[in-house]
Structure 1
């Protein structure tokens, strides 16, 4: 009777696994670069976008008592650079040039006008109004007119983008653009224009109702 021969599984040496991993990673990276560089391959492996979003849900309704009296359109070029300590920019770092365009509204909150802020004479021909100063609304970035001019990223940043859920995120430069647009609006005299437009609107409205003299002032 022949005794069966039991073969012991051969173990793969550790150095073979390490070499395989070292070879596999560059191969994957080169394949990704080929898809983005070689013509035709990108269309062959192209993706299709479908909008599967659900219906929007109404969370709240608020009454608005403010008068939007002026609106300013602004544009800013954001140059955002991120460097890493002790590493050259070619290895780790990024620089993004982004053109941000948006609007800022200036308004007068008529809901803050009290009974003591409106005075009318007995014959109803003269009226005096005291309104709160105009304020600036939040800057609204226009995605149709905002775009990235150029993006420079180091090797490690590019590799990280391959495994990131949002590799082309522009959230940082968008926030910076919104902040600069808000700063520009504060220095533009937009609130003064809003107060002048509000005064003109109220004077025309009250004069159409029979008032001959209408005075409008702003302050607390």
Structure 2
């Protein structure tokens, strides 16, 4: 006795096989695309890979600080630096860069410079006189997140030179020039005077909290 199998109602065997065939081709195409991208990522000669092989940070020295950070000034300067060639037009050789430099300058008083008799106290311990050095300015500290090249024009030779070297022009000169100008502005400002006033206020409040009713704060250059 023989039996015959019939396809389910509404389903054509040939069409089902075609759909399976197309689905298999689609999966194969996806695998080829993904595999090709992975292979290109691994074998691409122009691709870049960043590897950090930095050595551990070494502690070189520790210094005990004996100074009071009395004030901080925030400055911003636009450096306009232009370099020209002697006998060539700017379009051929030369550059002009606008650099925005932003950073702070700290004013501090170094108590380690006080004399041995810098503090005198009355016999009844109600009055105290203290002599301290005047405030000094720390080196400007540029903020890299707020310092940047705003605009730059370069001649043809400069562009070719940067292309061959594989790096843009050196920006150290811009940073140094910005630091110099910011320090000049800090010197011309009232930053040190503000630091001197803050130092007097701090020392007076501290000594009064220790029980002194009269506190006199003078600087070493005062009579």
The alignment's TM-score, normalised by the length of structure 2, stands at: 0.76
Superposition pairs of residues 94-105 of structure 1, within 5 angstroms = 94-105=95-106
2: CA distance between counterparts of 1:142 and 1:82?
Answer: 25
Does 2:164 match 1:163? yes
Question: Quick one: structure 1 residues 122 and 105, their matched pair in 2 at CA, closer, same or farther if it must change by over 3 Å?
Answer: same
Largest Rg, 1 or 2: 2
C-alpha root-mean-square deviation of aligned residues, in Å? 1.6
- Structure 2 CA distance, aligned partners of 1:76 and 1:93? 23
> Which is further off, 48-57 or 86-95?
48-57
Unaligned segments of structure 1, at least 5 residues: 1-43
Rounded to whole Å, the distance in 1 between the matches of 2:79 and 2:48 is 31
Cα distance, 1:139 vs. partner? 0.4
1:76 CA drift (Å): 0.2
Partner residue, 1:64:
65
> 2:180 maps to which residue?
179
By how many angstroms is 1:46 displaced? 6.0
Question: Could you tell me how far apart the structure 2 residues matched to 1:128 and 1:163 are?
Answer: 66
Aligned counterpart, 2:114: 113
1:12-39 Cα offsets, whole Å, 9 max, x none, are xxxxxxxxxxxxxxxxxxxxxxxxxxxx
1:122 matched residue in structure 2 = 123
Q: CA deviation at 1:101?
A: 0.2
How far 1:158 moved relative to its partner?
0.9
Q: Which residue of 2 aligns with 1:141?
A: 142
Q: 1:171 to 1:187 in 2, by over 3 A?
A: same
In structure 2, what is the Cα distance between the partners aligned to 1:45 and 1:104? 44
Q: Which residue of 1 aligns with 2:190?
A: 189
Runs of at least 5 residues in structure 2 that lack an aligned partner in the other structure: 1-44
